[in-house]
Amino acid sequence: MPSGIIIIDKPQDWTSMDVCARLRGVFHEKRVGHAGTLDPMATGVLPVFVGRATRAVQFAETGEKEYLAQLRLGLTTNTQDIWGETLETGDVPADGEARLRALLPRFTGEIDQVPPMYSAVKIGGKKLYELARKGVEVERKARKITIYSLELLPGQTPEGDFRLRVRCSQGTYIRTLCHDLGQALGCGGCMAGLQRTEACGFSLADAHPLDEVVNASDPAALLLPVDKLFRDRPALKLKTEGERKVRNGAALKTPKLTDGEYRLYGPDGAFLALSRAKKGVLTTVKSFYEV
């Protein structure tokens, strides 16, 4: 059965789950999941896990992500993007670009961000977007997020629009960042476009258009091995006895091994598990060998 990671350049107007549903048919495999949801209007890097590789999804949600966003000043909407209902319009300052550039440092680093009503965050067991569609707005607590870098990019855009490159932590809403920038400038703002350029350490250079995968004669050949997700961890190649113990769920005594996470491989080079060393004992965090 196919197993591995495929990086999709998600097309606009597709949900992340739509992409997974399409790939289940392509790979004839029910076990398909994605890491890091992209809204339907967004495009770009969507890591999709197929077969036994879905065991790695839980490790893919964290980490830095990078986006190219289009900020539209002078417009505030209920969804914090141009696809929502207009709530207010405002005049963009003549010196809007200079003021925006000066404002960016205030939104860089660890900041508080209130999740938007149109989001999948749950409060009282209800997803916020379900309440928002009924016209209900509830109080949301601000959450700590990190904006590692926030840059205003050059280039032609419609008047009142600006291009931003954002590198951020898990849980960051770029729509809300655009909204908050507009509020801080006093004219309102929302997101007019979004492309994710990096997630889970994979970039657009690693991504395949969905049509390419659907029409490939051998889609499985496009799959990356699941250990690519853990390439920042050191690799350990075990001998036959060590492999046997790992496959049986036993810990390994490794008194000289530095504490931390490791990729474990069998004598034949097959990826066995993500493991953690602590005080001279190596235990399995998650196994990936075929059973």
Residues annotated as part of the active site: 39
153, amino acid identity: L
Spatial CB neighbours of 151, under 8 Å, sequence gap ≥ 6 = 104, 164, 165, 166
Number of Cβ within a 10 Å radius of residue 209: 12
What is the C-alpha end-to-end distance of the chain, expressed in Å? 12
CA distances from 141 to 90, 123, 138, 144, 176 (A): 27, 10, 10, 10, 14
Q: Where does 60-201 show beta strands of DSSP type E?
A: 65-73, 75-77, 86-89, 109-113, 122-123, 126-127, 143-153, 161-168, 189-199
User: CA-based angle 128:131:133, to the nearest 5?
Assistant: 110
Q: Select from 171, 198, 197, 199 the least CA-distant residue to 60.
A: 199
Cβ neighbours, 10 Å, residue 126: 13
